[in-house]
Amino acid sequence: MKRRLIAMMVSCLVSFPLMAAQSDDPLNSPMWDYMRNIFIGEDAFVFDDKVVVDVPVFAEDPTQAPITVDASAYSGQIQKIIAWADLNPIQHIFTYFPHPDVIPRISLRIKVQQGTAVRAAVQTRDGVWHVGGQYLDAAGGGCTTPSMGNANPYWESHLGEMQTRLFERGETGRYKLKVIHPMDTGLADGIPEFYIQQVVLRNEAGEDLARLELSQPVSENPVISFDVRNAGQKHIIWMRDNGGNEFKQTL
């Protein structure tokens, strides 16, 4: 009895400091548990370096910080990818549903309010979430700064105009597109939220190859690139914003 008590005391002494010092989050973010709860819930998850989140060390422009999420290690096995920034006032960046025919790699630019962990959680067909992430340093203010468009009425007459190009990349192809849209977060004084919520890349047969749900942190005049396997095919890009405006272009 006495020995067991001592063992308990020792284990308390040893394990308490360990628990206090170490979070299982490799990025040591104060918001990890909260974010996990929101986006993953009670599902099984692992931290996984094969889910690559690529960001610069610091965001030179906190309204246009580039990120790339590359889950190609799980090509063909993915249900969805959720990306978020822990310390943004609106954390969710996008949810991406890649068809097995696309390479699950996507690049775009985001607004960041301060230095934050940027995450991508990839749910594979077995239901497990594979979580990758990277810390992005920033001076901040990206989410509460009025969009440039707010000071310049150019966008009003060009809303939804797209520029697109297919780049041959060996066996595969990359679509890069830019669309004119203010992507207002609703967090800048007196400017209501106005942003593209859905982006879909379809093939000629009308099948969704890449379905993307965007949130407010995606940067103004979004530049997005998708990698596709079958670059020879004709594709259609379709978008809708929270004002109900639809934009469509054949690639």
Instruction: Please give the residue ranges that form the binding site for another protein (CB under 8 A).
Output: 54-61, 64, 66-68, 107, 109, 139, 163-165, 167, 169, 174, 176, 178, 223, 225
Q: With respect to another protein, which residue has the nearer C-beta, 45 or 133? A: 133
Nearer to another protein, 36 or 62 (CB): 62
User: Which is closer to another protein, CB of 36 or CB of 102?
Assistant: 102
Residue 77 or 135: the one with the smaller Cβ distance to another protein is 135
CA of residue 185 relative to chain centroid, distance? 16
Minimum Å gap between C-beta 171 and another protein is 14
Q: Kindly state the smallest distance separating residue 191's Cβ from another protein, in Å.
A: 19
Least Cβ distance, residue 106 to another protein (angstroms):
9
- Residue 178 CA to chain centroid, in angstroms? 17
SS (HEC) of 161-183: CEEEEEEEECCEEEEEEEECCCC
Q: How far apart are CA 169 and CA 51, in angstroms?
A: 21
In whole angstroms, how close is the CB of 65 to another protein at the nearest point? 8
Tell me how far, at minimum, the Cβ of 160 lies from another protein, in Å: 16
Nearest to another protein of 17, 56 (CB atom): 56
Q: How far apart are CA 249 and CA 235, in angstroms?
A: 9
Minimum CB–partner distance for residue 181 and another protein (Å): 15
* Cβ nearer to another protein, comparing 145 with 198: 145
Token pair 């969704």 in the structure block, residue: 208
Least separation, in Å, of the C-beta of 60 and another protein?
A: 4
The beta-strand segments (E) located in 60-204 are 65-70, 78-85, 92-98, 102-110, 116-124, 129-138, 162-169, 172-179, 196-203
Whose Cβ is closer to another protein: residue 45's or residue 53's?
A: 53
Residue 143, sorted as left (phi over 0), alpha (psi -120 to 50) or beta, turns out to be: alpha
User: Which are the contacts of 112, defined by CB distance < 8 A and separation ≥ 6?
Assistant: 59, 62, 65, 85, 88, 136, 138, 140, 142, 143, 217
Strands 116-124 and 129-138: antiparallel
